[in-house]
Amino acid sequence: MSVRRRAVHGKAAVGMVAVLALALTGCGDEGKSDKPAASTSTKPQGGGEASPSGAVKSADAPPAQIIATVNGEAGMVLTINKAARDAGGFLTVEGQLKNTGSAAYVNTAPWRGNELNSSGVSVAGVTLVDKVGKKRYYVLRDTDGRCLCTTGLNIIEAGQTMPFFAQFPAPPTSTVEVDLSLPTFATATVKLSG
Protein backbone atom coordinates (compact mmCIF):
# COMPACT_ATOMS: atom_id res chain seq x y z
CA MET A 1 0.00 0.00 0.00
CA SER A 2 1.35 3.39 -0.91
CA VAL A 3 1.87 6.24 1.53
CA ARG A 4 -0.71 8.27 -0.32
CA ARG A 5 -3.34 5.57 0.05
CA ARG A 6 -2.62 5.24 3.81
CA ALA A 7 -3.08 8.98 4.24
CA VAL A 8 -6.47 8.85 2.50
CA HIS A 9 -7.58 5.94 4.71
CA GLY A 10 -6.29 7.81 7.80
CA LYS A 11 -8.26 10.94 6.87
CA ALA A 12 -11.37 8.86 6.28
CA ALA A 13 -10.95 7.18 9.68
CA VAL A 14 -10.52 10.53 11.44
CA GLY A 15 -13.61 11.85 9.62
CA MET A 16 -15.67 8.81 10.68
CA VAL A 17 -14.58 9.21 14.31
CA ALA A 18 -15.59 12.89 14.24
CA VAL A 19 -19.01 12.06 12.71
CA LEU A 20 -19.62 9.28 15.27
CA ALA A 21 -18.61 11.55 18.16
CA LEU A 22 -20.97 14.23 16.91
CA ALA A 23 -23.81 11.73 16.51
CA LEU A 24 -23.27 10.27 19.98
CA THR A 25 -23.19 13.74 21.52
CA GLY A 26 -26.54 14.51 19.90
CA CYS A 27 -28.04 11.27 21.26
CA GLY A 28 -27.03 12.04 24.83
CA ASP A 29 -29.43 14.99 25.21
CA GLU A 30 -32.68 13.00 25.40
CA GLY A 31 -35.08 14.41 27.97
CA LYS A 32 -33.12 17.62 28.41
CA SER A 33 -34.54 21.07 27.90
CA ASP A 34 -33.71 23.15 24.84
CA LYS A 35 -33.14 26.10 27.15
CA PRO A 36 -29.53 27.20 27.65
CA ALA A 37 -27.85 25.87 30.77
CA ALA A 38 -27.73 28.14 33.79
CA SER A 39 -24.43 29.80 34.50
CA THR A 40 -22.23 27.99 36.99
CA SER A 41 -20.58 31.19 38.05
CA THR A 42 -20.73 32.00 41.75
CA LYS A 43 -20.75 35.69 40.97
CA PRO A 44 -23.95 37.13 42.42
CA GLN A 45 -26.45 38.72 40.09
CA GLY A 46 -29.03 41.28 41.04
CA GLY A 47 -27.38 42.48 44.22
CA GLY A 48 -27.24 39.10 46.02
CA GLU A 49 -24.38 37.88 48.16
CA ALA A 50 -22.31 34.76 47.51
CA SER A 51 -21.83 32.53 50.53
CA PRO A 52 -18.58 30.64 51.16
CA SER A 53 -20.21 27.49 49.75
CA GLY A 54 -20.88 29.29 46.47
CA ALA A 55 -24.63 29.55 46.98
CA VAL A 56 -26.10 32.92 46.18
CA LYS A 57 -28.44 34.63 48.62
CA SER A 58 -30.90 36.90 46.91
CA ALA A 59 -31.09 40.44 48.22
CA ASP A 60 -34.83 40.34 47.41
CA ALA A 61 -35.57 37.20 49.50
CA PRO A 62 -37.45 38.03 52.69
CA PRO A 63 -35.69 37.09 55.92
CA ALA A 64 -36.98 34.02 57.73
CA GLN A 65 -39.73 34.78 60.23
CA ILE A 66 -38.53 34.54 63.83
CA ILE A 67 -41.18 33.15 66.18
CA ALA A 68 -38.94 32.80 69.24
CA THR A 69 -35.30 33.11 70.28
CA VAL A 70 -33.88 31.61 73.48
CA ASN A 71 -30.41 31.53 74.95
CA GLY A 72 -28.64 28.46 76.21
CA GLU A 73 -25.34 27.95 77.98
CA ALA A 74 -21.95 29.03 76.60
CA GLY A 75 -23.34 31.31 73.89
CA MET A 76 -25.73 28.83 72.26
CA VAL A 77 -28.86 30.42 70.75
CA LEU A 78 -31.96 28.58 69.53
CA THR A 79 -34.09 30.46 66.99
CA ILE A 80 -37.49 29.06 66.02
CA ASN A 81 -38.75 30.02 62.55
CA LYS A 82 -41.73 27.70 62.15
CA ALA A 83 -44.18 25.78 64.34
CA ALA A 84 -46.88 24.50 62.02
CA ARG A 85 -49.46 21.74 62.03
CA ASP A 86 -49.10 19.32 59.11
CA ALA A 87 -51.93 17.58 57.29
CA GLY A 88 -51.10 14.22 58.89
CA GLY A 89 -51.82 15.39 62.44
CA PHE A 90 -48.24 16.39 63.26
CA LEU A 91 -46.67 19.59 64.50
CA THR A 92 -43.31 20.45 62.94
CA VAL A 93 -40.95 22.89 64.65
CA GLU A 94 -38.02 24.26 62.62
CA GLY A 95 -35.24 26.73 63.30
CA GLN A 96 -31.49 26.95 63.93
CA LEU A 97 -29.00 26.37 66.70
CA LYS A 98 -26.15 28.86 66.59
CA ASN A 99 -22.96 28.94 68.60
CA THR A 100 -22.36 32.64 69.27
CA GLY A 101 -19.58 31.82 71.74
CA SER A 102 -15.84 31.94 71.10
CA ALA A 103 -15.20 28.20 71.61
CA ALA A 104 -16.62 24.97 70.24
CA TYR A 105 -19.72 23.78 72.08
CA VAL A 106 -19.41 20.13 73.12
CA ASN A 107 -22.13 19.72 75.78
CA THR A 108 -24.84 18.52 73.37
CA ALA A 109 -25.60 15.25 75.22
CA PRO A 110 -28.28 16.81 77.53
CA TRP A 111 -30.31 17.78 74.44
CA ARG A 112 -31.18 14.15 73.79
CA GLY A 113 -33.03 13.93 77.12
CA ASN A 114 -33.58 10.38 78.37
CA GLU A 115 -32.90 8.95 74.92
CA LEU A 116 -31.98 5.27 75.27
CA ASN A 117 -32.09 4.13 71.66
CA SER A 118 -30.27 4.65 68.39
CA SER A 119 -30.95 8.36 67.83
CA GLY A 120 -27.50 9.22 69.18
CA VAL A 121 -26.76 12.85 69.99
CA SER A 122 -29.93 14.66 68.99
CA VAL A 123 -32.52 17.15 70.19
CA ALA A 124 -34.89 14.33 71.24
CA GLY A 125 -35.12 15.88 74.71
CA VAL A 126 -37.15 18.82 73.43
CA THR A 127 -40.75 18.93 74.68
CA LEU A 128 -43.83 21.04 74.12
CA VAL A 129 -46.22 21.94 76.93
CA ASP A 130 -49.81 22.96 76.29
CA LYS A 131 -50.52 24.87 79.52
CA VAL A 132 -54.20 25.38 78.72
CA GLY A 133 -54.78 21.70 77.84
CA LYS A 134 -52.38 20.61 80.60
CA LYS A 135 -50.50 18.22 78.36
CA ARG A 136 -46.83 17.59 77.53
CA TYR A 137 -45.81 16.46 74.01
CA TYR A 138 -42.65 14.47 73.27
CA VAL A 139 -40.79 14.12 69.96
CA LEU A 140 -42.21 11.44 67.68
CA ARG A 141 -40.25 8.27 66.87
CA ASP A 142 -39.96 6.21 63.70
CA THR A 143 -40.57 2.44 63.63
CA ASP A 144 -36.97 1.80 64.72
CA GLY A 145 -37.34 4.09 67.74
CA ARG A 146 -35.23 6.96 66.33
CA CYS A 147 -36.49 10.47 66.96
CA LEU A 148 -38.04 12.56 64.19
CA CYS A 149 -35.67 15.38 64.99
CA THR A 150 -32.20 16.77 64.30
CA THR A 151 -29.45 14.24 65.01
CA GLY A 152 -25.65 14.15 64.76
CA LEU A 153 -25.00 17.22 66.91
CA ASN A 154 -21.69 16.20 68.50
CA ILE A 155 -19.74 19.47 68.35
CA ILE A 156 -20.90 22.89 67.19
CA GLU A 157 -17.95 25.09 66.32
CA ALA A 158 -17.79 28.77 67.28
CA GLY A 159 -19.93 30.77 64.84
CA GLN A 160 -21.48 27.63 63.33
CA THR A 161 -25.24 27.41 62.68
CA MET A 162 -26.98 24.04 62.61
CA PRO A 163 -30.55 23.31 61.51
CA PHE A 164 -33.10 22.48 64.21
CA PHE A 165 -36.05 20.21 63.47
CA ALA A 166 -38.47 18.28 65.69
CA GLN A 167 -41.83 16.72 64.98
CA PHE A 168 -44.57 16.16 67.59
CA PRO A 169 -48.15 14.96 67.73
CA ALA A 170 -50.26 18.04 66.92
CA PRO A 171 -52.07 19.65 69.85
CA PRO A 172 -55.79 20.36 69.37
CA THR A 173 -56.61 23.19 66.96
CA SER A 174 -57.88 25.20 69.94
CA THR A 175 -54.27 25.37 71.22
CA VAL A 176 -52.67 28.49 69.75
CA GLU A 177 -49.36 28.48 71.63
CA VAL A 178 -47.10 26.07 73.51
CA ASP A 179 -43.99 26.30 75.65
CA LEU A 180 -40.96 24.72 73.99
CA SER A 181 -38.25 23.37 76.30
CA LEU A 182 -34.83 22.06 75.24
CA PRO A 183 -32.42 21.09 78.04
CA THR A 184 -29.76 23.81 78.76
CA PHE A 185 -31.99 26.49 77.13
CA ALA A 186 -34.58 28.85 78.55
CA THR A 187 -38.21 27.99 77.80
CA ALA A 188 -39.75 29.67 74.75
CA THR A 189 -43.42 30.42 74.15
CA VAL A 190 -44.17 29.53 70.53
CA LYS A 191 -47.27 30.51 68.54
CA LEU A 192 -48.61 27.72 66.34
CA SER A 193 -49.80 28.02 62.76
CA GLY A 194 -51.87 25.73 60.58
Q: Domain 68-191 adopts which CATH fold? A: Immunoglobulin-like (2.60.40)
DSSP string, 99-117: E-SSS-B---GGGGTT--S
Q: Where are the domains of the chain?
A: 1-30, 68-191
Q: Are 138 and 168 in contact (CB under 8 A)?
A: yes
* Angle subtended at Cα 128 by Cα 93 and Cα 187, rounded to the nearest 5 degrees: 95
Exposed (0-12), middle (13-18) or buried (19+): which is 16, by Cβ within 10 Å? exposed
Asked whether residue 20 carries a pLDDT value surpassing 60, the answer given is no
- Assess whether pLDDT exceeds 70 at residue 84: yes
* Mean pLDDT across the chain: 77
Per-residue pLDDT at 53 exceeds 70 = no
Query: Region 130-159: what's the mean pLDDT?
Result: 91
pLDDT value for 87: 86
pTM above 0.75, yes or no: no
Q: With pLDDT > 70 as the criterion, what percentage of the chain qualifies?
A: 64
- Mean pLDDT along residues 175-185: 95
Which residue from 162, 62, 58 is spatially nearest to 104, judged by alpha carbons? 162
